[in-house]
Amino acid sequence: MRNIALRLRYDGTAYHGWQVQKNDVTVAETVENAIFKLTGERVRVTGCGRTDAGVHALRYCANFKTECSIPTDKFPLALNSRLPGDIACVAATQAPEDFNAILSCVKKEYTYRIINSRIPDPFERDRAWFYPAPLRTEVMERAAEKFVGRHDFAAVRSVGTETRTTVRTVHWCEVERQGDLISIRVCADGFLYNMVRAIVGTVIYCSEGKLAPEEIPALLDTRDRRLTGPTAPPQGLYLSRVWYDGAVGDMMA
Protein backbone atom coordinates (compact mmCIF):
# COMPACT_ATOMS: atom_id res chain seq x y z
CA MET A 1 0.00 0.00 0.00
CA ARG A 2 1.48 3.32 -1.08
CA ASN A 3 0.76 6.71 0.46
CA ILE A 4 0.60 9.26 -2.36
CA ALA A 5 0.75 13.00 -1.72
CA LEU A 6 -0.66 15.36 -4.35
CA ARG A 7 -0.01 19.02 -4.97
CA LEU A 8 -3.28 20.50 -6.23
CA ARG A 9 -4.44 23.86 -7.53
CA TYR A 10 -8.07 24.81 -7.95
CA ASP A 11 -10.66 27.50 -8.61
CA GLY A 12 -13.27 26.94 -5.92
CA THR A 13 -16.08 28.93 -7.56
CA ALA A 14 -18.13 25.90 -8.64
CA TYR A 15 -17.59 23.88 -5.44
CA HIS A 16 -19.12 23.81 -1.99
CA GLY A 17 -15.69 23.78 -0.39
CA TRP A 18 -13.12 20.99 -0.08
CA GLN A 19 -14.78 18.57 2.32
CA VAL A 20 -17.06 15.80 0.98
CA GLN A 21 -20.74 16.53 1.64
CA LYS A 22 -23.92 14.56 1.03
CA ASN A 23 -25.78 16.92 -1.28
CA ASP A 24 -23.20 19.32 -2.71
CA VAL A 25 -20.34 19.00 -5.18
CA THR A 26 -16.97 19.47 -3.47
CA VAL A 27 -13.33 19.47 -4.50
CA ALA A 28 -12.49 16.35 -2.48
CA GLU A 29 -15.35 14.36 -4.02
CA THR A 30 -14.29 15.44 -7.50
CA VAL A 31 -10.68 14.39 -6.88
CA GLU A 32 -11.77 11.05 -5.40
CA ASN A 33 -13.95 10.36 -8.44
CA ALA A 34 -11.05 11.16 -10.77
CA ILE A 35 -8.77 8.77 -8.83
CA PHE A 36 -11.43 6.05 -9.12
CA LYS A 37 -11.59 6.54 -12.89
CA LEU A 38 -7.80 6.29 -13.04
CA THR A 39 -7.11 3.43 -10.63
CA GLY A 40 -10.44 1.63 -10.17
CA GLU A 41 -10.07 2.16 -6.40
CA ARG A 42 -12.48 3.98 -4.13
CA VAL A 43 -10.15 6.03 -1.94
CA ARG A 44 -10.56 8.64 0.76
CA VAL A 45 -8.50 11.74 0.09
CA THR A 46 -7.24 13.66 3.13
CA GLY A 47 -6.79 17.38 2.51
CA CYS A 48 -4.48 19.81 4.27
CA GLY A 49 -7.39 21.92 5.46
CA ARG A 50 -11.00 22.88 5.01
CA THR A 51 -11.65 25.52 2.36
CA ASP A 52 -15.19 26.87 2.23
CA ALA A 53 -17.51 27.31 -0.74
CA GLY A 54 -16.01 29.70 -3.27
CA VAL A 55 -12.52 29.67 -1.73
CA HIS A 56 -9.56 28.89 -4.01
CA ALA A 57 -6.17 27.19 -3.67
CA LEU A 58 -2.92 28.12 -5.37
CA ARG A 59 -1.17 25.33 -3.46
CA TYR A 60 -3.07 22.54 -1.76
CA CYS A 61 -1.81 19.20 -0.45
CA ALA A 62 -3.84 15.99 -0.22
CA ASN A 63 -2.89 12.36 0.32
CA PHE A 64 -4.48 8.96 -0.17
CA LYS A 65 -3.56 5.27 0.17
CA THR A 66 -3.51 3.12 -2.96
CA GLU A 67 -2.48 -0.25 -4.36
CA CYS A 68 -2.01 1.18 -7.86
CA SER A 69 1.42 0.93 -9.50
CA ILE A 70 1.30 4.15 -11.55
CA PRO A 71 4.67 5.93 -11.14
CA THR A 72 4.29 9.17 -9.20
CA ASP A 73 5.90 11.22 -11.98
CA LYS A 74 3.19 9.98 -14.37
CA PHE A 75 0.34 10.54 -11.93
CA PRO A 76 -0.35 14.27 -12.50
CA LEU A 77 -0.90 14.00 -16.27
CA ALA A 78 -2.95 10.85 -15.88
CA LEU A 79 -5.12 12.36 -13.15
CA ASN A 80 -5.59 15.67 -14.96
CA SER A 81 -7.13 13.84 -17.90
CA ARG A 82 -9.91 12.78 -15.50
CA LEU A 83 -10.29 16.10 -13.65
CA PRO A 84 -12.38 19.11 -14.72
CA GLY A 85 -10.55 22.20 -15.95
CA ASP A 86 -10.90 24.10 -12.66
CA ILE A 87 -8.83 21.55 -10.69
CA ALA A 88 -5.25 20.57 -11.56
CA CYS A 89 -2.77 18.12 -10.07
CA VAL A 90 0.59 19.89 -10.31
CA ALA A 91 2.81 17.21 -8.77
CA ALA A 92 2.77 13.89 -6.87
CA THR A 93 5.22 12.10 -4.62
CA GLN A 94 5.31 8.99 -2.46
CA ALA A 95 4.96 10.07 1.16
CA PRO A 96 5.95 8.20 4.33
CA GLU A 97 3.40 5.68 5.53
CA ASP A 98 2.37 7.88 8.46
CA PHE A 99 2.09 11.10 6.45
CA ASN A 100 -1.22 12.91 6.81
CA ALA A 101 -1.85 16.09 4.81
CA ILE A 102 -3.49 17.94 7.70
CA LEU A 103 -1.71 16.48 10.74
CA SER A 104 1.78 16.66 9.18
CA CYS A 105 1.40 20.28 8.08
CA VAL A 106 3.93 22.66 9.67
CA LYS A 107 2.29 25.96 8.69
CA LYS A 108 0.03 27.49 6.04
CA GLU A 109 -0.35 30.81 4.30
CA TYR A 110 -3.61 32.29 3.04
CA THR A 111 -3.79 35.28 0.70
CA TYR A 112 -6.84 37.52 0.48
CA ARG A 113 -7.30 39.68 -2.64
CA ILE A 114 -9.28 42.93 -2.77
CA ILE A 115 -9.98 44.99 -5.90
CA ASN A 116 -10.12 48.52 -4.49
CA SER A 117 -11.49 50.56 -7.37
CA ARG A 118 -14.64 52.48 -8.24
CA ILE A 119 -14.99 50.30 -11.35
CA PRO A 120 -15.42 46.52 -11.00
CA ASP A 121 -13.30 44.11 -12.99
CA PRO A 122 -15.62 41.42 -14.43
CA PHE A 123 -12.70 39.00 -14.75
CA GLU A 124 -12.09 39.24 -10.98
CA ARG A 125 -15.76 38.84 -9.99
CA ASP A 126 -15.29 35.35 -8.50
CA ARG A 127 -11.62 35.78 -7.63
CA ALA A 128 -11.42 38.93 -5.49
CA TRP A 129 -13.57 41.13 -3.25
CA PHE A 130 -14.67 44.23 -5.15
CA TYR A 131 -14.49 47.10 -2.65
CA PRO A 132 -15.25 50.50 -4.21
CA ALA A 133 -14.77 52.71 -1.11
CA PRO A 134 -11.23 54.10 -0.66
CA LEU A 135 -8.99 52.01 1.61
CA ARG A 136 -6.02 53.41 3.54
CA THR A 137 -3.26 50.87 3.02
CA GLU A 138 -0.98 52.35 5.68
CA VAL A 139 -3.70 51.93 8.34
CA MET A 140 -4.37 48.38 7.14
CA GLU A 141 -0.66 47.58 7.51
CA ARG A 142 -0.63 48.84 11.10
CA ALA A 143 -3.74 46.80 11.89
CA ALA A 144 -2.36 43.63 10.30
CA GLU A 145 0.80 43.81 12.42
CA LYS A 146 -1.30 43.52 15.59
CA PHE A 147 -2.30 39.96 14.71
CA VAL A 148 1.30 38.69 14.56
CA GLY A 149 2.40 36.48 17.44
CA ARG A 150 0.80 33.84 19.67
CA HIS A 151 -2.72 34.87 20.67
CA ASP A 152 -6.15 33.52 21.41
CA PHE A 153 -8.01 34.19 18.15
CA ALA A 154 -11.54 33.35 19.31
CA ALA A 155 -12.56 36.96 18.56
CA VAL A 156 -11.85 36.40 14.85
CA ARG A 157 -13.43 33.02 14.22
CA SER A 158 -16.95 32.01 13.22
CA VAL A 159 -18.92 29.26 14.89
CA GLY A 160 -18.07 26.07 13.05
CA THR A 161 -15.59 23.26 13.58
CA GLU A 162 -14.89 22.66 17.26
CA THR A 163 -11.23 22.81 18.34
CA ARG A 164 -9.45 22.00 21.56
CA THR A 165 -7.93 25.47 21.70
CA THR A 166 -8.37 28.78 19.89
CA VAL A 167 -4.73 29.78 20.49
CA ARG A 168 -2.62 30.01 17.33
CA THR A 169 0.71 31.52 16.28
CA VAL A 170 0.60 33.97 13.36
CA HIS A 171 4.04 34.22 11.75
CA TRP A 172 3.19 37.14 9.51
CA CYS A 173 0.20 39.25 8.50
CA GLU A 174 1.14 41.58 5.65
CA VAL A 175 -0.66 44.05 3.41
CA GLU A 176 0.60 44.93 -0.07
CA ARG A 177 -0.92 47.21 -2.70
CA GLN A 178 -0.22 47.08 -6.43
CA GLY A 179 -2.47 49.47 -8.29
CA ASP A 180 -6.08 48.57 -7.52
CA LEU A 181 -5.15 45.16 -6.05
CA ILE A 182 -4.65 44.83 -2.30
CA SER A 183 -3.27 41.50 -1.06
CA ILE A 184 -3.35 40.46 2.59
CA ARG A 185 -1.13 37.46 3.42
CA VAL A 186 -1.50 35.59 6.72
CA CYS A 187 0.78 32.71 7.72
CA ALA A 188 0.14 30.67 10.87
CA ASP A 189 0.70 27.27 12.43
CA GLY A 190 -3.04 26.69 12.12
CA PHE A 191 -6.28 28.53 11.40
CA LEU A 192 -9.71 28.69 12.99
CA TYR A 193 -12.94 28.66 10.99
CA ASN A 194 -13.17 31.90 8.96
CA MET A 195 -10.20 33.33 10.86
CA VAL A 196 -8.51 34.95 7.85
CA ARG A 197 -11.74 36.40 6.51
CA ALA A 198 -12.52 37.87 9.95
CA ILE A 199 -8.99 39.33 10.17
CA VAL A 200 -9.54 40.94 6.76
CA GLY A 201 -12.87 42.40 7.89
CA THR A 202 -11.23 43.80 11.03
CA VAL A 203 -8.39 45.34 9.03
CA ILE A 204 -11.02 46.95 6.75
CA TYR A 205 -12.82 48.33 9.80
CA CYS A 206 -9.58 49.98 10.88
CA SER A 207 -9.14 51.55 7.44
CA GLU A 208 -12.68 52.96 7.70
CA GLY A 209 -12.01 54.41 11.14
CA LYS A 210 -14.48 52.12 12.92
CA LEU A 211 -11.62 50.64 14.96
CA ALA A 212 -8.08 51.79 15.75
CA PRO A 213 -5.24 49.35 15.05
CA GLU A 214 -4.08 49.85 18.63
CA GLU A 215 -7.39 48.43 19.89
CA ILE A 216 -6.87 45.02 18.30
CA PRO A 217 -4.81 43.36 21.10
CA ALA A 218 -7.48 44.26 23.68
CA LEU A 219 -10.23 43.03 21.36
CA LEU A 220 -8.44 39.68 20.99
CA ASP A 221 -8.26 39.44 24.77
CA THR A 222 -12.07 39.72 25.01
CA ARG A 223 -12.52 36.60 22.81
CA ASP A 224 -15.79 38.25 21.67
CA ARG A 225 -16.51 37.86 17.94
CA ARG A 226 -19.11 40.65 18.09
CA LEU A 227 -16.46 43.29 18.74
CA THR A 228 -14.26 42.70 15.67
CA GLY A 229 -14.86 43.30 11.97
CA PRO A 230 -17.20 41.40 9.63
CA THR A 231 -16.32 38.19 7.81
CA ALA A 232 -15.04 39.08 4.32
CA PRO A 233 -16.68 37.21 1.40
CA PRO A 234 -15.14 33.90 0.31
CA GLN A 235 -14.18 34.62 -3.32
CA GLY A 236 -11.14 36.71 -2.35
CA LEU A 237 -9.51 33.95 -0.28
CA TYR A 238 -6.76 31.62 -1.53
CA LEU A 239 -4.72 28.96 0.22
CA SER A 240 -1.40 30.12 -1.16
CA ARG A 241 1.35 28.07 0.53
CA VAL A 242 1.66 24.94 2.67
CA TRP A 243 4.82 23.75 4.43
CA TYR A 244 5.92 20.16 5.22
CA ASP A 245 9.11 18.36 6.07
CA GLY A 246 10.83 15.89 3.74
CA ALA A 247 9.83 14.88 0.22
CA VAL A 248 6.35 16.38 0.49
CA GLY A 249 7.83 19.70 1.54
CA ASP A 250 10.11 19.62 -1.52
CA MET A 251 7.09 18.95 -3.74
CA MET A 252 5.12 21.84 -2.26
CA ALA A 253 7.95 24.40 -2.49
17-26 CB contacts, 8 Å cutoff, 24+ apart: 17/50, 17/51, 17/52, 17/53, 17/55, 18/47, 18/49, 18/50, 18/51, 18/60, 19/47, 19/50, 24/53
- Polymer length in residues for the chain: 253
Torsion of CA 99, 111, 155, 212, to 10 degrees: 150
Q: Report yes or no: 98 and 248 within 8 Å, Cβ to Cβ.
A: no
Outline where the chain has alpha helix (H). Answer: 27-39, 75-80, 137-145, 195-207, 216-222, 246-252
Classify residue 227 as exposed, middle or buried by CB count within 10 Å of its CB (0-12, 13-18, 19+): middle
- Active-site choice (11, 24, 52, 98): 52
Residue 11: active-site member: no
Q: Report yes or no: 146 and 186 within 8 Å, Cβ to Cβ.
A: no
Q: Distances in Å between the alpha carbon of 158 and those of 33, 53, 131, 166, 184? A: 31, 15, 22, 11, 19
Active site residues: 52
